Chains A and B, each alone.
Chain A
Amino acid sequence: MTKGPRDKTMTIDEVVGELKDGMTVGIGGWGPRRKPMALVRAILRSDLRDLTLVSWGGADVGLLARAGKIRRLVYAFVSLDSIPLEPNFQRARQQGTIPEVVELDEGMFMTGLRAAAQRLPFLPMRAGLGSDVMVNNPWLRTVTSPYDDGEELVAVPALKLDVALVHLNRADRHGNATYLGPDPYFDDLFAMAADRTYVSCEQVVDTAGLTVDTPVQRLLLSRMMVSGVVETPNGAHFTTCTPDYERDEAFQKAYAAAASGTDDEWAAFEKRFLAGDEAAYQAAVRELAEEGA
């Protein structure tokens, strides 16, 4: 019998068990879209601390900031889209509870991931020039073109990650994974910028099942980029995971209201939704939806 590629399926807690204090963790998706929220929730429950977080931020950043998990945050924006300003992130910034922030232009962020994915120290770019991104991050350097134009460009540093966490619609047990929604975001770049990548997905299917009803171009991740696979149905909740589900706007509203409310209101939200494991979370979400129905 020929041997196939290895089985990389894991549990949520096994994934989070691979993380260590002080690590640089990249979180895929975009703002409130296709975020590996089940893994983020598991980090909230863990003792992990002093993380460097690299994210086009949504509630992942807000939740981890509120829980005091972030020592250094690399971001270009943090937003919930239909609620433009993320209240937990806002609160953390205004109270100064994130010790170090690196705010980049969102194109610089992509270029930084690309540099890391290509094992380069930096890639040149115009974005950043003249803006306060250069002032507020005085360690950023420019580089002069060695050619006749002599243009002085930003040397966007590689955003090297210890670990990337991403959420896709489907994956096989080996780590090949497809996105079925409108946008791949940058999950492949996150994966290639990281030493290890863990994929959560709506459904683990046979390898043949990945392309049975889906164009091959939707295979965003190859197993060679992936260390672990975990099936987490509704695991991107309350962010989008099109076409499996859209953003849970009612839940997001409840989250934002609690986050911008009193400490007691936040404590009540935490107790109701975040105190238990993923199954308890999903049960509490169903219960809230039933109340609203």
Chain B
Amino acid sequence: MDATRADVCAAAVADAFKDDGEIFASPMGLMPMLGVRLAKLTSNPDLVISDGESLFLAGVPPLLAKADVVEGWIPFRRVFDVVAYGKRHVMMGATQLDREGNQNISAIGEFARPKRQLLGSRGAPGNTVNNRTSYWVPRHSTRVFVEQVDVVSGVGPRRARQAGPAASRFNDIHRIVTNLAVLDVGGPDDTVRLVSVHPGVTVDEVQAATRFDLGAGSDVPETRLPTTEELVIIREVLDPKGLRFKEVPQEAGQETRQ
């Protein structure tokens, strides 16, 4: 069975949640939701997932499907409680991400008079000093991966350390999954480094789409291909309509034979 780039991304997102145990997996956006549900159906059945609104779901419905067995209630106020409780792994988007793993979803340019106003900091400051946080970037580019973010919404490890033990104690930037590669903050002094490049992508391509030096040699491994089981689940169960291709187009990269 041939895996598309989107399938590779979904499996990479799933891998970010596989060792989390019994925690609330909180995906923001389509691909993170697909990956989390894939993890729940394969590597980590203990994950607690929601409908993205206010219900914990006992089953694992397809993307955007509503009806399912409910196993709990998670209105926004309880989300904030779980953030502080810590048993949560959120995968957020990022308009900018920098070398030190800081994320920006607030504004581009000067905060006082932004060139482009974005969403606002949302829960990023609280997430990053309380629970495990990962990022999903559907278009890896030099606009996203910058030397320094314009506004620090999500806090990277260095900023957390500088803010003191209360900030660094639970700061846990886990994984950055993009359409080209998987990264983390395991580089020198907790900087962003390349963990793997997706099949059909070269290290040079990822570096060219990143403003800061990834310090990567030629020995970066390839992101694993999804298993046949995963491909069936993605295509037949979770995303038969191919919604994932809205984020990572089907034509991205070549179809990769397993």
Give A contacts to B, CB under 8 Å.
30, 57, 75-79, 84-85, 89-90, 93-94, 96, 103-108, 110, 125-133, 135-136, 151-153, 182-186
Q: How far is the CA of A72 from the CA of B163 in the complex (A)?
A: 28
CA distance A85 to B118 in the complex (A): 6
Contacts known (A107-B84, A129-B167, A136-B111); A84 close to B122, Cβ less than 8 A: no
Q: Do A182 and B55 touch across chains, with their CB atoms under 8 A apart? A: yes
Asked if B6 CB lies within 8 Å of chain A CBs, one says no
- Give every chain A residue within 8 A of B113 (Cβ-Cβ): 93-94, 96
> What chain B residues lie within 8 Å of A77 (beta carbons)?
119-122
The total of Cβ contacts below 8 Å across the A-B interface reads: 140
Dominant SS among interface residues on chain B: loop
Which of A94, A108, A129 contacts B114 (CB under 8 A)? A94
Q: Is B162 an interface residue (CB 8 A)?
A: yes
Q: From A128, which residue of chain B is reached at the shortest CB distance?
A: B125
Asked whether any CB of chain A lies closer than 8 Å to the CB of B253, the reply is: no
Interface residue? B117 (CB, 8 A): yes
Q: Which residues of B contact A (CB under 8 A)?
A: 53-55, 75-77, 80, 83-84, 106-107, 111-126, 128-130, 151-155, 159-160, 162-167, 169-171
Which residues of chain B are within 8 angstroms of A108 by Cβ–Cβ distance?
Answer: 125-126
Contact A75 B164 (CB under 8 A): no
**Distance, CA A132 to CA B115, complexed state (A):** 17
Indicate whether A93 sits within 8 Å of B107 (C-beta atoms), given known contacts A106-B123, A126-B166, A130-B160.
yes
Residues of B within 8 A of A126 (CB): 84, 126, 129-130, 166-167, 170
Contact A183 B121 (CB under 8 A): no
CA distance A94 to B108 in the complex (A): 10
**In whole angstroms, what is the CA distance A77 to B118 when docked?**
9
Known contacts A85-B119, A127-B125, A130-B129, then 13 further A-B pairs from the complex at CB < 8 Å, ordered by chain A residue: A30-B76, A76-B123, A78-B120, A96-B112, A105-B124, A110-B77, A125-B126, A126-B84, A127-B83, A130-B167, A132-B106, A151-B165, A182-B53
